[in-house]
Structure 1
Amino acid sequence: MAIRAGEVYVNPPCRQKIVVRRAAAETGGERSLMDLYVSPGGFAADYHVHPFSEERFTLVRGRLRVSIDGRDEILDRVGQTVAVPPGVTHRFFSACEDEETFAVVAFRNRADRFENLLLRQLFGLADGGQSDARGIPNLLQTALTLREFSDVLRFTSRPWPVQRALYGALAPIARLTGYHACNPALERRPVRTAELEELPPEVALQVNA
């Protein structure tokens, strides 16, 4: 079942909530807009790259620190935008101690696969208590899921050739013990919906460009 606008996904370990603003299914799978809410202390799960896709953050309120290739960008003005090109290591963090940060994230190229990985799989596992304090599943689950979706996300804590070899060795064990790259229970899981917040004009201009 395709992900739809208004659906809500939460990741308690990472202190994140995402409300889908424009689903990839509306754009032929190529572009997705997501309202990202990050509580104080919240973060993206580990440093990572999107090999073929661009990710763009536009601030609505609060403060967001985006680390891009070892350099920090602080978003602290409404409508301020930062883009992460394909293949560049990055991670984001809340930069607010006392309020929630809200940014719109635009993901271009293979957005349908990214939605399935991030929202259905990684957020679904985290919301179900099946990930660690960083929001990352156990090694057997990671071996299948990150191998299946390596075209849209790769963690950078280890070199990719090392990860690929490790995941390849673990994948048969993971399957034998009942793991799935795309957990069917997460595909069928009921999803909450919410009304979308109205965006300030300067943000709407950026995200709809």
Structure 2
Amino acid sequence: MSESASVRGSWIENPASGERIRIRTSAADSGGEVLAWELRLAPGGRVPSGHVHPAQEERFTIVEGRMRFRVDGHSRVVGPGQTVTVAPGARHHFANAGPNEAFVLVETRPAMRMEELLEVAAELARGRHGRARRLPGLVDLLLFMDEFRSEVRAPYFAGVVGLVVRAIVRVAGLFGAGGHYRRLRVTRGTGR
């Protein structure tokens, strides 16, 4: 992803999920209070898996199209003018429930490193050769989960999953695994 990907007006595109994201208000703009972004989700598009944001609230306001949300086991389909608020710690998943692209305004509070997470997830979805893929390689996925553990976690058994992820990440580091992820992160300017 180019350096300009986080600049308002450019798109973060995730070919695996069908998401196109444009940042409206960055963490820097809001003093870390909020990340406001627009989400364009292709027909059939969906977030790759259910997840939890341990310390962040997400608010989704549908502008166009229909979206299906599953929040803490309860599913609902919403359309234009409706808002779904996901409390910190709530298990959730969302997908486009209609035949056309959905347009959704999203606010994440506090912003934390969510913008960076969205950018890295999109980059991982392109894979090593720029082709779309549903999931990154296992080591890349584990490194991603470890790096962004404050922003996103597995929806079930998060404590155990976190311990296993950190243990595997340490072992992978000892054996030099994860070079692709590390190169991607250095290229993105984080040096991690």
Compute the TM-score of the two structures, normalised by the length of structure 1. Answer: 0.78
- Mapped to 1, the partners of 2:132 and 2:53 lie a distance apart of 21
Q: Please state if 1:137 is matched with 2:139.
A: no
Q: Secondary structure of 2:62's partner?
A: strand
State the partner residue of 2:54. 51
- Mapped to 2, the partners of 1:184 and 1:64 lie a distance apart of 35
State the partner residue of 2:124. 125
How many positions carry a matched residue from both structures? Answer: 181
Extract unaligned runs of 5+ from structure 2: none
- Mapped to 2, the partners of 1:181 and 1:67 lie a distance apart of 35
Report if the CA contact (8 A) 2:18-2:42 is conserved: yes
Shift of 1:130: 7.5
Q: Secondary structure of 1:25's partner?
A: coil
State the partner residue of 1:61. 64
**Residue deviations 1:47-87 (CA, integer Å, cap 9, x gap):** 000000000000110101111111112111x3211100000
Q: Secondary structure of 2:81's partner?
A: coil
- Mapped to 2, the partners of 1:181 and 1:89 lie a distance apart of 31
- CA RMSD in angstroms, aligned pairs only: 2.2
Moved over 6 A (4+): none
Q: Please state if 1:37 is matched with 2:40.
A: yes
- Mapped to 2, the partners of 1:108 and 1:181 lie a distance apart of 30
Extract unaligned runs of 5+ from structure 1: 189-209
Q: Please state if 1:106 is matched with 2:107.
A: yes
Q: Which amino acid aligns with 2:109?
A: R
Of structures 1 and 2, the one with the larger relative CO (CA 8 A, separation 6+) is 1
State the partner residue of 1:116. 116
**Residue deviations 1:13-34 (CA, integer Å, cap 9, x gap):** 1111111111111001220111
- Mapped to 1, the partners of 2:24 and 2:32 lie a distance apart of 14
Report if the CA contact (8 A) 1:145-1:180 is conserved: no
In structure 2, relative to structure 1, the CA distance for the partners of 1:130 and 1:152 (3 Å cut) is: farther
State the partner residue of 1:95. 97
- Mapped to 1, the partners of 2:131 and 2:167 lie a distance apart of 22
Report if the CA contact (8 A) 2:126-2:133 is conserved: no
- Mapped to 2, the partners of 1:38 and 1:131 lie a distance apart of 15
Shift of 1:181: 9.5
Shift of 1:131: 7.1
Q: Secondary structure of 1:56's partner?
A: strand
In structure 2, relative to structure 1, the CA distance for the partners of 1:132 and 1:163 (3 Å cut) is: farther
**Residue deviations 1:143-169 (CA, integer Å, cap 9, x gap):** 22211211110122x511221222122
The alignment-based identity, stated in percent, is 35
In structure 2, relative to structure 1, the CA distance for the partners of 1:75 and 1:186 (3 Å cut) is: same
State the partner residue of 2:9. 6
- Mapped to 1, the partners of 2:132 and 2:147 lie a distance apart of 18
In structure 2, relative to structure 1, the CA distance for the partners of 1:181 and 1:72 (3 Å cut) is: farther
